[in-house]
Amino acid sequence: MKIKSIENFNLTAYNAYRINAVCAKAWFPENETDLLEIFSQNKNKRLIILGNGNNIILSKEYYEDEFIILNGCFDKVKVNNTEIEAEAGATLLQLSETALKHCLTGLEIFYDIPSSVGGAVVMNAGNKEGEIKDILVKVRYLDLADRQIKEITKEDIGFEYRNSFFQKQTDKIVLKAWFQLKKGNPEQIKVKMEESKQTRWAKQPREYPNCGSVFKRPPGRFVGPMLDELGMKGFTIGGAKISEKHSGFIVNTGNATGKDILAVITEAQKRVKEKFGVDLEVEQRII
């Protein structure tokens, strides 16, 4: 069967900043065979993988590159007793709702984290209550170095704060992950999911398109208070603005380009370095 692909594909709906960008071609694989086939057909091309588009900044308006989109596809989820097996394109929302349906606890805090499974593993997604590594068992991935499919256990992934083996080695593509949960009370699981969601919505600017926290937290510091002290809440370039609700976020107030967002980031980094001597590291992936 022919793999679905679209020429000159508009990526606006596929990135959480809602930046208007187009790629030369987009591929939509349904399974591992499709993915291997796409890489075989395009041996000398740069292929960009896009999951749920929640932690990325599209810096260009047009990409000569082709994109592989794992969003609305490559997203099967299976439950084996207390273990959940999920393909890279599945979302954490999908995962936590499946866990609830099967009375499994351990995923509640991820309920409202906007991410695909692949992205969550690469970034070690989480919050102060926990990280994806806490429930992960193993990962199946495609190694582009030798085009072999391999598996790696949690212990060998080298997880750190918002970092992993997969972030450092971009030729290793997450295909699937297994998560170990525990049996729980569905009412309690549901309550915890809702509490987690409300906590995030109370602090975060969900009314505008954004990609979550822009900068990694520097040792012994918090980004938000530093930017507040510099009076950068509401700082705007083009359609990109440092959120007035939480200055660790940049929002698209309308028609922001990737360049606008990067310009706001550069200015914030410059001012923080001048005032506090701190180098702010961008948590989001710039494409």
Q: Which token pair is 221?
A: 């510091």
Residue 59 Cα distances to 124, 197, 242, angstroms = 23, 30, 17
Residues 6 or more apart whose CB falls under 8 angstroms from that of 276 comprise 221, 226
Q: Which tokens in the block code for residue 49?
A: 């993988």
> Exposed, middle or buried by CB within 10 Å (0-12, 13-18, 19+), for 285?
middle
Going by C-alpha positions, the residue among 206, 207, 208, 205 that lies closest to residue 254 is 208
Residue 211, CA atoms < 13 Å, CB-side half-sphere:
29
Q: Point out the residues that are catalytic.
A: 162, 213, 283
Question: Are the C-beta atoms of 192 and 116 separated by less than 8 Å?
Answer: no
How large is the angle between the packed helices 92-101 and 186-203, nearest 10 degrees? 150
Q: What residues does 153 pair with on adjacent strands?
A: 138
